[in-house]
Amino acid sequence: MNKLNTLTYTKIAAAINFIKANFKAQPSLDEIAASVHLSSFHFQKLFTEWAGVSPKKFLQYTSVQYAKSLLQQPTTTLFYTAIETGLSSSSRLHNLFVNIEGMTPDEYKNGGQHLQIKYSFADTIFGDMVIASTQKGVCYMAFIEDAAVGFNNLQSHFSKANFIEQTDELQQHALSIFSKDWQHLQQIKLHLKGTNFQLKVWEALLKIPTGQLTTYGNIANTINSPKASRAVGTAIGSNPVAFLIPCHRVIQTTGNIGGYMWGATRKTAIIGWEAATIFQ
């Protein structure tokens, strides 16, 4: 790392420490930039390149994580959580959660208690799967080796939701992709919960054409975060919907297949199958 990069890293690290130490005061961009002796414009650009998110988003993530720790306590009220987090009202806390978590703070506190999720098991050409959906779309899809373990993993994502073992059209449309019956692709709907950064990465994955591959670095460039390859890798590894969001199409710059949540052998098989389809 050259002297310039070392200086930049030092400034970003100092800014992150400042945010973590002062998030309850909800410091402005100008205040954070001043803490590391940079102009607001230059700091905003520098921080976003290195962290993969803006200073404002990082502040929001930090606030949400603290609010989550408070909300896990049964007697904690939303108003108390909002004030303790440095927000002026519970409505601001509500808006923050919807923006970052994809759900309200009350829904988070209840662990998806009022969410009804239908799930089923399916046999695909790449192995057994568990697939789940809400009224809005497919919320979970994963390859499994054991049905009980697969269901437990699904439950861990929505700890207090109401689960019903039942197949619906949303699931059927999604599974049709394995039989190359792609006439229903436009009818596949997803209901995902993730940070803005994760959603941005997953959206970029959806744009990779069938039968083609890309790298973590290319995805980082696509979402205008060229220094965030590692963060991109983490977001790809958090993909809750196997195959439909094609994280299997991302490989290492060296050409190695790289990791895959559901196994490198399966990833290689999927890549080969997709490549074969474009020549038929």
Q: Kindly list the domain boundaries of the chain, sorted by start residue.
A: 3-109, 116-187, 196-277
Q: At what angle do helices 3-22 and 55-71 cross, to 10 degrees?
A: 40
Question: Which of the pair, 87 or 212, is modelled with greater confidence?
Answer: 212
139 is catalytic: no
Q: Any idea what DSSP says for residue 132?
A: E
Catalytic residue among 247, 250, 251, 270: 247
The overall longest dimension of the chain from CA atoms, in Å, is: 61
CATH of domain 196-277: 1.10.10.10
Residue range 116-187 in CATH 3.30.565.10: no
- Comparison of pLDDT for 186 and 224, the residue scoring more: 224
pLDDT at position 148 is: 95
Chain-centroid distance of CA 160 in Å reads 20
Q: What is the mean pLDDT of the segment spanning 229-245? A: 90
Question: Percent of the chain beyond pLDDT 90?
Answer: 29
> What whole-number distance in Å separates Cα of residue 76 and Cα of residue 84?
11
Cα separation of 245 and 206, whole Å?
A: 6
- Please tell me if the domain spanning 3-109 has the same topology as the one spanning 196-277: yes
Q: How confident is the model at residue 103 (pLDDT cuts 50, 70, 90)?
A: low
**Average pLDDT across the chain, whole number:** 81
The residues with which 131 forms a beta bridge, in sequence order, are 120, 141
What CATH fold (topology level) applies to the domain 3-109? Arc Repressor Mutant, subunit A (1.10.10)
pTM for this structure? 0.60
Nearest-CA neighbor of 38 among 60, 12, 59, 2? 12
CA trace torsion 224, 227, 228, 229 (10° rounding): 110
DSSP per-residue codes, 61-129: HHHHHHHHHHHTSTT--HHHHHHHTT-SSHHHHHHHHHHHHSS-HHHHHTTSTT-EEEEEEEEETTEEE
pLDDT at 157: 83
Q: Could you read off the pLDDT of 21-40 as tens digits, one per residue?
A: 898 888 999 999 999 999 99
pLDDT value at residue 276 = 66
Cα angle value 132/72/84 (rounded, 5°): 130
Residues 89, 79: Cα–Cα separation, whole Å: 7
Angstrom distances, CA of residue 195 to CA of 6, 98, 187, 199: 28, 10, 24, 6
- Picking from 200, 208, 198, the residue whose alpha carbon sits closest to that of residue 244 is 208
CA separation (Å) from 131 to 12, 19, 212?
A: 41, 39, 25
